[in-house]
């Protein structure tokens, strides 16, 4: 395996180059946004692939979702030829509505993906006019120096497409998310003939999904999952609830078919599922007569005659299965002897939330089946045998692993080398990789970062409200209110409010009194003639309060000193 170093690559100065970089999606799973640039360094034209979100972790309290920082390409938006969407998962399209206004470029997508995006725009886009061009499955278009062809693959959503990106420098194949499922249940199987033809044409570089690069074998088919779910539902004595990723139309169809096969009625709970089902019907992935009832009808159906399909497989607190587990759902309840099927994989970081729901259901006597107990979920990403088969078809000269954490990228690079790839380049978000001409390697860095959707606002990571809440969650806050004259006289007793700080120290002394004593000692230590420097007094009180709490507690809280200045004595 020839893994290139991070030394700056050499090449001709001032001439055309083909470069690749990610503003999200390398060294992490989620928040996918990739850029291909062609032309001289100072006048490149760019093509963006995907624009997704990821979900916040515990150290990002209060954030709803995480979005990529696009300041690099936003500054070059006049040279951005378009945004191409490989499929409709949120980690690939979820940031479009929030961030597209900073770009203003054309958007290209296949019909189902375009339909999902248009639905989101209609629901959340505040009358936004977005130039979306629908490209047929397997279709092709040109924009700037890029000739882009969609290549049908399989994944856990309709119309996943790899992208054959032809440039004056050569052909790059960007896989998107994929697997080699010949029986995907919904949609077409991978276009094996086109993949082989691309390999024969000559693939200069392949940028490839790494999610399952550490797992041997092949990913099971959606058809096998459908058969397993049908058996489980047929054998269930009472109510059955199934929660899955709303975007998995094949799983929606499998649950519906299983319910109807054993004379049960399908009930759907959750807005995201209703949205997906409607788009799937409109684009032909579910039949026009697809039958189901809304959640209000759940109580009308006998316990052994209902299957409820609900949102919330990742432990989302406001989703249907969470509200059911908490016995807070207005229409749906599960009781002892009922069955809950978690037809999904828990995304890393969501384990505690999902486990909480499992335990709430178990306390109610509900039986639970996950993918640990039965074949109720399969991955949408390629395992090692599928990667080997793809490399056998494509035979790329250069491989760039993407869509994975560092360990996934490393194992993928090793496997690609074993499959005959001439070079593999492991890079991280922001590193600009030259693919052509001359020495291939990292030549520069672009600024990257994380933004947060915080309620109705988009806020920065650094020095933003989420960072402040993170610190609050660790050490609390102490607020001191003081009233002083302009010459430095204390006109009222200081007031102290402590939140998230212990009430007493280890000796049982009141923490508020400890703070007041520190303030009093500080004021006494400042000579009367110097107290007129109110900024100095404020800073001294700040330091003494933080130091006193740290000495008593062993932690430094956020300290705010509020000083009201009035014309006082004399």
Measured in whole angstroms, how far is the alpha carbon of residue 533 from the centre of its chain? Answer: 50
Contact present, 292 and 266 (Cβ < 8 Å): yes
- Among the residue ranges 24-33, 142-151, 252-261, 408-417, the one predicted with the least confidence is 24-33
Confidence grade of residue 568 (pLDDT, cut at 50, 70, 90): low
Q: What per-residue confidence (pLDDT) applies to 5?
A: 45
519 in a structural domain: yes
In which domain, by residue range, is 200 found? Answer: 17-217+379-456
Q: What is the DSSP letter of 63?
A: -
pLDDT over 90, % of the chain:
84
Binned at pLDDT 50, 70 and 90, residue 124 comes out as: confident
Q: Is residue 326 part of a domain?
A: yes
For residue 522, is pLDDT > 60?
yes
CATH of the domain at 61: 3.60.15.10
464 pLDDT higher than 80: no
> 473 with 462: CB under 8 angstroms?
no
- Per-residue confidence (pLDDT) for residue 295, from 0 to 100: 95
d(CA 25, CA 21): 10
Specify whether 552 is located in the same domain as 500. yes
**In a shared domain, residues 130 and 227:** no
Instruction: Pick the range with the lowest mean pLDDT from 15-19, 28-32, 221-225, 323-327.
Output: 28-32
Gyration radius of the chain's alpha carbons: 29
Classify the phi-psi angles of 179: left when phi > 0, otherwise alpha if psi is within -120 to 50, otherwise beta.
beta
Which is nearest to 64 in space by CA: 124, 21, 122, 126? Answer: 124
Q: Of the candidates 161, 153, 97, which has an alpha carbon nearest to the alpha carbon of residue 130?
A: 97
Which pLDDT value is given to residue 7? 53
For residues 41 and 102, membership in a common domain is answered with: yes
- Strands (DSSP E) found in 326-370: 339-343, 367-369
Is 433 within a domain? yes
Indicate whether 465 belongs to any domain: no
Average pLDDT, integer, range 300-308:
97
Residues 363 and 389 in one domain: no
Q: Which of 115-119, 462-466, 487-491 has the lowest mean pLDDT?
A: 462-466
The overall average pLDDT reported for the chain is: 93
Residue 540: both structure tokens together:
């001294």
Cα separation, 270 vs 275, whole angstroms: 9
Strand partners, 565: 484
Whether residue 404 has pLDDT greater than 60: yes
Last residue of a domain, one of 315, 340, 369: 369
| Residue 225 predicted with pLDDT over 50 | yes
Q: Is residue 11 part of a domain?
A: no
Same domain, residue pair 258 and 356 = yes
Would you state the pLDDT for residue 392?
97
Judged against a pLDDT cut of 90, whether residue 86 lies above it is answered with yes
Sheet holding 441-445, edge to edge: 132-134, 107-109, 80-84, 45-49, 33-39, 17-24, 431-436, 441-445
Q: Can you give the pLDDT at residue 2? A: 58
Token pair, residue 537, equals 């007094």
Of 345, 369, 393, the one marking the end of a domain is 369
The answer on pLDDT for 476 being more than 60 is yes
Judged against a pLDDT cut of 80, whether residue 381 lies above it is answered with: yes
- In angstroms, the CA 144 to CA 168 distance is 11
Q: Are residues 235 and 189 in the same domain?
A: no
376-390, 461-475, 542-556: segment of lowest average pLDDT = 461-475
Read off the pLDDT of each residue in 173-196 and give the average, rounded to a whole number. 97
Q: Looking at residue 9, what is its pLDDT?
A: 56
Are residue 67 and residue 210 in the same domain, yes or no?
A: yes
Residue 8 lies in a domain: no
Residue 150 has pLDDT above 80, yes or no: yes
Q: What are phi and psi of 318, to 5 degrees?
A: -100, 0
Residue 558 lies in a domain: yes
Reply yes or no on whether the pLDDT at 3 is more than 70. Answer: no
Compute the average pLDDT of residues 485-498.
93
Q: Are residues 41 and 179 in the same domain?
A: yes
On the question of pLDDT at 316 being above 90, the answer is no
Does 461 fall in a domain?
no
What's 354's domain CATH number?
3.40.50.10710
As beta bridge partners, residue 244 has: 343
Q: Could you tell me if 294 and 194 lie in one domain?
A: no
Range 149-157 average pLDDT: 97
pLDDT at 570: 44
pLDDT of the residue at 55: 80
497 exposed, middle or buried (CB, 10 Å; 0-12, 13-18, 19+)?
Answer: middle
Q: Within this chain, do residues 325 and 433 fall inside the same structural domain, yes or no?
A: no
- Are the CB atoms for 160 and 383 separated by under 8 Å? no
CATH value at residue 553: 3.10.20.580
Pair 348, 489 in one domain: no
Q: Which of 385, 558, 546 is nearest to 468 (CA)?
A: 558
Distance CA 102, CA 12 (A): 33
Domain tally, the chain? 3
Q: Are residues 227 and 344 in the same domain?
A: yes
- Is the pLDDT at 347 greater than 90? The verdict is no
Domain boundary among 410, 425, 456: 456
Instruction: For 30-85, write each residue's pLDDT tens digit.
Output: 899 999 999 999 999 999 999 999 888 766 777 788 999 999 999 999 999 999 99
What does the pLDDT average to over 182-199?
97
Listed range (8-17, 208-217, 558-567) with the worst mean pLDDT: 8-17
């Amino acid at each position: 395996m020839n893994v290139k170093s991070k030394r700056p690559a050499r090449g001709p100065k001032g001439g055309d180059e083909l470069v690749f970089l990610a503003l999200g999606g390398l060294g992490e799973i989620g928040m996918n946004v990739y850029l291909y640039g062609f032309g001289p360094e100072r006048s490149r034209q760019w093509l963006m692939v995907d624009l997704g979100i990821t979900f916040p972790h515990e150290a990002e309290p209060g954030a709803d979702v995480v979005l990529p920082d696009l300041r690099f390409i936003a500054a070059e938006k006049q040279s951005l030829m378009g945004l191409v969407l490989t499929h409709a998962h949120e980690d690939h399209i979820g940031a479009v509505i929030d961030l597209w206004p900073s770009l203003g470029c054309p958007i290209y997508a296949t019909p189902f993906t375009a339909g999902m995006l248009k639905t989101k725009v209609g629901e959340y886009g505040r009358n936004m006019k977005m130039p979306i061009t629908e490209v047929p499955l397997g279709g092709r278009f040109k924009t700037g120096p890029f000739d882009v062809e969609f290549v049908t693959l399989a994944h856990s959503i309709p119309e996943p497409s790899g992208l054959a990106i032809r440039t004056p420098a050569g052909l790059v194949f960007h896989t998107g998310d994929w697997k080699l499922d010949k029986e995907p249940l919904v949609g077409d199987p991978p276009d094996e003939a086109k993949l082989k033809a691309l390999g024969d044409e000559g693939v200069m570089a392949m940028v490839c999904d790494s999610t399952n690069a550490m797992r041997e074998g092949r990913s099971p088919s959606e058809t096998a999952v459908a058969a397993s779910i049908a058996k489980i539902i047929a054998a269930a004595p009472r109510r059955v609830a199934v929660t899955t990723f709303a975007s998995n139309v094949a799983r929606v169809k499998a649950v519906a078919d299983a319910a109807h096969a054993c004379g049960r009625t399908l009930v759907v709970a959750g807005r995201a599922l209703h949205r997906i089902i409607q788009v799937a019907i409109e684009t032909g992935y579910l039949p026009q007569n697809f039958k189901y009832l809304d959640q209000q009808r759940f109580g009308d159906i006998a316990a052994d005659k209902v299957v409820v399909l609900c949102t919330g497989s990742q432990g989302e607190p406001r989703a249907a299965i969470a509200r059911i587990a908490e016995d807070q759902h207005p229409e749906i309840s599960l009781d002892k002897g009922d069955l809950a099927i978690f037809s999904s994989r828990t995304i890393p970081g969501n384990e505690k939330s999902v486990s909480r729901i499992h335990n709430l259901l178990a306390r109610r006597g509900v039986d639970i089946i996950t993918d640990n107990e039965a074949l109720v979920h399969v991955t949408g990403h390629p395992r090692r045998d599928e990667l080997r088969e793809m490399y056998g078809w494509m035979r790329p000269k250069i491989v760039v692993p993407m869509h994975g954490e560092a360990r996934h990228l490393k194992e993928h690079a090793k496997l690609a080398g074993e499959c005959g790839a001439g070079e593999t380049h492991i890079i991280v978000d922001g590193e600009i990789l030259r693919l052509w001409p001359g020495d291939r390697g990292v030549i520069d860095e672009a600024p990257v970062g994380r933004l947060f959707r915080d309620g109705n606002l988009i806020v920065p990571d650094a020095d933003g409200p989420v960072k402040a809440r993170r610190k609050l969650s660790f050490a609390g806050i102490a607020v001191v209110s003081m009233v002083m004259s302009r010459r430095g006289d204390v006109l009222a007793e200081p007031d102290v409010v402590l939140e998230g700080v212990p009430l007493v120290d280890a000796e049982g002394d009141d923490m508020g009194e400890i703070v007041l004593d520190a303030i009093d000692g500080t004021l006494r230590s400042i000579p009367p003639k110097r107290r007129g420097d109110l900024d100095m007094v404020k800073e001294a009180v700040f330091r003494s309060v933080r130091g006193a709490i740290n000495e008593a507690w062993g932690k430094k809280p956020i300290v705010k000193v509020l000083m009201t200045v009035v014309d006082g004595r004399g």
